Amino acid sequence: MSDILELPKAIEEGLHRINPSTSRRNFLKSSGALVISFSAGAIPGPGTLAAASDADPALMVGPYPDPDYRQLDTWIVIHPDNTATFFVGKTDGGQGTGTAFRQMMCDELDIAYDKTSLIMGRTDITPDQGGSGGSDAIERDGWPMRRVAAEARRVLLELAAEDFAVPVERLVVSNATITVGSEPAMSVTYAELVGGKRFDISLNGENVDATRGLANVKPVNQLRVVGQSLQRYDIPAKVDGSLIWAVDVKLPGMLHARNVRPPLAGAVVSGIDEASVADLPGFVRVVRRGNYVAVVCEREEQAIRAARQLRVDWERPADPPFPASDELFVYMRRATPTTISEPDIQGDPSAAFAAADQVVVAEYEVPFQGHTAIGPAHALADPSDGQMTIYSNDMKSYRLRNGVAEFLDMPRDQVRVVYMDGPQVYGRTAADDAGFEAAFLAHELGRPVRVQWTREEETAWDTKGPAYVFKLRGGLDAGGKVTALEYDACAADFNHVGYNEPDTVLIAQLMGRRPETPAAGSAATPSLMYGISNRRTTTRVVGLPLVWETPLRTGNLRDPNGPQVTFAFESFIDELAAAAHIDPVVFRLDMLSNSDEDDVFRRARSIAVVKAAAGAYGWNTRPSPQTPAAQTHGGQKLLTGRGIAYTYRNRTIAATIAEVEVDRQTGRVWAKRLVCAHDCGLVVNPGGLRNTIECGMLHALSRALWEEVRFDTEKVTSVNWQSHPTLRHSDTPESIDIVLVNGDPSPDRSDLAPYGAGETSHKPLIAAVANAIHDATGVRLRRLPFRPERVLAALRTAGVSTS
């Protein structure tokens, strides 16, 4: 989001000093977003308010009522220079959705891409589309954007028809200019029709997703900008240092805060010695509410020092808050569940197991894994003029606004969130927590306060993806066909926190403000497309002893349960294929063909995707493993194998093949080659999509090879990049091939829809790696992550020579 429309004067001036070409005024000029006229009849819509703040800063003083999604002017502003600005209620964590939105809206409006700009996720000037989440930006939120842009085009055509006194059918539109078909001299630009003025057109729709006017969107074959690999508009400013990130905002009189977290989970503050820091230069205040403690200073380095130096007496909790991470799975298996699902039974699994020729059983374990953003959580809050403005990269800016308003007991329209770029937001990150903390401290101190979490705080205290234990059981008949399947999942997910909830954000928990009942959490089931007639599915959720104020709090982390569940399920499918001595691709294709489930043509598309992956890889048909473990003696130091995993997520389908090298002597696993075939329907920006698929896979590779939250019985012990390793440059595959598949039975149909793509490729990768390790070594790894020590131990146990 390089479109920073409204910046406090001080930054504006500072910016201008550093780099005049990137100051807001210049940006606005060059992007065409500056509406200079501000007289009667001009647009008092969002564009003007934002852009005119230079002329009249008072315009940006609250209150900030919700922009009305049922007004066309909320979404689109046409400027006098025949450019347009789009306002959408989404955020872009770096997957290029902003660029894709612009592409879709340009097509419907008939305007060149480079004549437009886009503002996202600012609660005061963009309609509430919920921000990001669930990979539905293009799949769901793109539709109202397309429809409102189509409606704007319709209205412009009508205005032109009136002007020229010809029927609309005779008009031709190109590049924001309308011409009478037979008479090229008769033409008018969008700007001449409405530039700098309001459309004043009401829209329909009972909610923002349903927003529409009278116009229909274009059929797919008329889309010109959609389908192009346009470069992302936000990248240049990220590469030359000119972008203003949420971490960069500075306000006059702002203060710096650091939190002081309980050193032991569940510890209670019994005393604070403020004198231990009172003499430090720049010291302003220690703020304490319950077990929430923060230090506020004039300068950042002063706050860092004061937070380290502050003496707080913490009382150790009477009972251990959780088992040590090494005991986690034992604990989870024994724990009394907080929820047990009703078994879901299809066919007659008991009879099918009794009749089976072979029964295979396996258990899998996935530890807690964190977001651990590269830039720890942060936010700046400004309490000026009795309002509260929060500068944040929170992907759900609207919920942050609503949550903070409730938390501070302020009217909602006195709080706004200015969404700005920041480090990764793959779900419920600690950006939520930092936003509340900054707002609370700014409210307390009456001055702007910036909160910055430390590395250790982020890694220890951010929300975690739930840990899982799975047990799977499968029955094969004599022909190697799967006749029965039992799936049991147990997730440590009790008290799963939601987004920006005023009673579950960390500061609320530490203050003792919390809901009566913790959230139930969930244990997920696989995305099952395989034709298996007899099935039994059970799930349960367990909790850890310490439910509140714990660093082991779960929240959504990229495709919240998909990587865990798909690791277990697609590993197990491979185990069944191996038991049946059938090639893993053939085995899967066979089960897909037998599926009777075909929503959005999922069966045909799945088969096409699996075949495309195998084709791109050059898969030769043979059963896995290449060499049984016991025979893998001596000889080569590096063992090579390949593995496939398949899944779907909502309407999107992916099959991933990993080729790995396992170093017999060190246990190091290198995913040397990755292939992903991916079908997400209509592709808006193939280049951006490939990038997202690629990074989604590598993020899962990091989870496969390295990531694990480690803890003893008092605290999290994996707190920095040494104790909590992540994927690095040296782990990067040598090649990655991505095949974009359109497996729709009528691939050219005019209503082909785009489906979500932010998470699907993240889902099957771990299983593909596990399957490849098994293919290479004959050894099955059933517990994440596959760090060298674990791999080596497993090789030894299986009798593979490691010397």
Partner 1 sequence: MSIVTLHINDATHEVDVDPSTPLLYVLRNDLGLRGPRFGCGIGQCGTCIVIVDGVAVRSCVVPASRVRGQITTLEGLSADGTLDPVQQAWIDEQVPQCGYCHNGQIMTAKALLDRNPDPTDAEIREAMDGALCRCMTYYRIQAAIKRVVQQPMADARDTNAAIAEEVAE
Residues 685 to 724: which contact partner 1 by CB under 8 A? 687-688, 691-692, 694-695, 698-699, 701-702, 720-722
Beta strands, E only, 301-370: 311-315, 339-340, 344-346, 358-366, 369-370
Q: How far is CA 667 from CA 283, 643, 697, in A?
A: 50, 18, 22
The answer to whether residue 465 forms part of the interface with partner 1 (CB under 8 A) is no
Residue number with CB closer to ligand FES (372 or 537): 372
**β-bridge partners, 255:** 449
Q: Pick one of ligand FES, partner 1, none as the site partner of residue 406 (Cβ within 5 to 8 A by kind).
A: none
Nearest partner of 642 among 617, 664, 677, 610, judged by Cα: 617
Among 18, 168, 210, 351, binds partner 1 (CB under 8 A): 18
Q: How far apart are CA 305 and CA 211, in angstroms?
A: 51
The answer to whether residue 19 forms part of the interface with partner 1 (CB under 8 A) is yes
Residue number with CB closer to partner 1 (281 or 515): 281
Q: Pick one of ligand FES, partner 1, none as the site partner of residue 686 (Cβ within 5 to 8 A by kind).
A: none
Q: Pick one of ligand FES, partner 1, none as the site partner of residue 662 (Cβ within 5 to 8 A by kind).
A: none
Residues 443 to 462: which contact partner 1 by CB under 8 A? 452, 454-455
The answer to whether residue 374 forms part of the interface with ligand FES (CB under 6 A) is yes
The answer to whether residue 174 forms part of the interface with partner 1 (CB under 8 A) is yes
Q: How far apart are CA 492 and CA 137, in angstroms?
A: 29
Residues 678 to 697: which contact ligand FES by CB under 6 A? none
DSSP reduced 3-state for 365: strand
Structure tokens at 662: 């396992």
Structure tokens at 534: 């007899």
575 Cβ contact list (under 8 Å, min separation 6):
360, 362, 474, 780
The answer to whether residue 224 forms part of the interface with partner 1 (CB under 8 A) is yes
CA triple 433-439-441, angle to 5 deg: 100
Residue number with CB closer to partner 1 (332 or 693): 693
Q: Pick one of partner 1, ligand FES, none as the site partner of residue 742 (Cβ within 5 to 8 A by kind).
A: none
Q: Pick one of partner 1, ligand FES, none as the site partner of residue 225 (Cβ within 5 to 8 A by kind).
A: partner 1
Among 94, 367, 563, 743, binds partner 1 (CB under 8 A): 94
Residue number with CB closer to ligand FES (663 or 694): 694
Residues 73 to 132: which contact ligand FES by CB under 6 A? 94
- Residue 417 CA from chain centroid, whole number: 19
| Sole residue written with tokens 């479109």 | 3
Residue number with CB closer to ligand FES (94 or 403): 94
CB of 378 to partner 1, least distance (A): 8
Residues 33 to 92: which contact partner 1 by CB under 8 A? none
Q: What phi and psi, each to the nearest 5 degrees, are found at residue 604?
A: -60, -40
Q: What phi and psi, each to the nearest 5 degrees, are found at residue 8?
A: -60, 150
Q: Pick one of ligand FES, partner 1, none as the site partner of residue 242 (Cβ within 5 to 8 A by kind).
A: partner 1
**β-bridge partners, 659:** 642, 673
Residues 587 to 646: which contact ligand FES by CB under 6 A? none
CB of 115 to partner 1, least distance (A): 8
Q: Is 465 exposed, middle or buried (0-12, 13-18, 19+ CB in 10 A)?
A: buried
Q: Are 678 and 609 in contact (CB under 8 A)?
A: yes
Of all residues in this chain, which one has the CB nearest to ligand FES in the complex? 374
- DSSP of 394-438: -S-HHHHHHHHHHHHT--GGGEEEEE---S---BS-THHHHHHHH
Among 40, 165, 185, 239, binds partner 1 (CB under 8 A): 239
CB of 374 to ligand FES, least distance (A): 4
CB of 207 to partner 1, least distance (A): 29
CB of 455 to ligand FES, least distance (A): 7
The answer to whether residue 315 forms part of the interface with partner 1 (CB under 8 A) is no
Nearest partner of 368 among 462, 457, 465, 458, judged by Cα: 465
The answer for 433, left when phi > 0, alpha when psi is -120 to 50, beta otherwise, is alpha
CB of 613 to ligand FES, least distance (A): 26
Q: Pick one of partner 1, ligand FES, none as the site partner of residue 720 (Cβ within 5 to 8 A by kind).
A: partner 1
Q: Pick one of ligand FES, partner 1, none as the site partner of residue 95 (Cβ within 5 to 8 A by kind).
A: partner 1
Residue number with CB closer to partner 1 (48 or 463): 463
Residue number with CB closer to ligand FES (423 or 555): 423
Q: Is 417 exposed, middle or buried (0-12, 13-18, 19+ CB in 10 A)?
A: buried
Residue number with CB closer to ligand FES (94 or 543): 94
Q: Pick one of partner 1, ligand FES, none as the site partner of residue 316 (Cβ within 5 to 8 A by kind).
A: none
Residue number with CB closer to partner 1 (306 or 573): 306
H-assigned helices in 171-270: 190-194, 235-239
For 135, how many CA atoms within 13 A lie in the half-sphere containing its CB? 26
- Number of residues located near ligand FES, criterion CB under 6 A: 4
Between the two ends of the chain, the Cα-to-Cα distance in Å is 53
Residue number with CB closer to ligand FES (424 or 509): 424
469 Cβ contact list (under 8 Å, min separation 6):
329, 332, 333, 363, 364, 365, 366, 489, 490
- Residue 764 CA from chain centroid, whole number: 16
Residues 270 to 289: which contact partner 1 by CB under 8 A? 281
Q: How far apart are CA 774 and CA 593, in angstroms?
A: 26
Q: How far apart are CA 606 and CA 341, in angstroms?
A: 29
CB of 700 to partner 1, least distance (A): 9
Residues 717 to 746: which contact partner 1 by CB under 8 A? 720-722, 726-734, 736
Q: How far is CA 437 from CA 36, 188, 257, 283, 395, in A?
A: 38, 52, 9, 18, 17
Residue number with CB closer to partner 1 (48 or 99): 99
DSSP reduced 3-state for 552: coil
Among 22, 424, 539, 652, binds ligand FES (CB under 6 A): 424
The answer to whether residue 93 forms part of the interface with partner 1 (CB under 8 A) is yes
CB of 61 to ligand FES, least distance (A): 34
DSSP reduced 3-state for 548: coil
Q: How far apart are CA 605 and CA 595, in angstroms?
A: 12
Q: Among 222-230, 306-314, 401-409, 461-469, which window interacts with partner 1 (CB under 8 A)?
A: 222-230
Residue number with CB closer to partner 1 (247 or 766): 247
Residue number with CB closer to partner 1 (193 or 297): 297
Q: What phi and psi, each to the nearest 5 degrees, are found at residue 312?
A: -120, 135
The answer to whether residue 386 forms part of the interface with partner 1 (CB under 8 A) is no
Q: How far apart are CA 403 and CA 388, in angstroms?
A: 12
Beta strands, E only, 466-598: 467-476, 482-492, 534-542
The answer to whether residue 230 forms part of the interface with partner 1 (CB under 8 A) is yes
CB of 143 to partner 1, least distance (A): 22
CB of 372 to partner 1, least distance (A): 7
Q: Residues interacting with ligand FES, by CB under 6 A?
A: 94, 374, 423-424
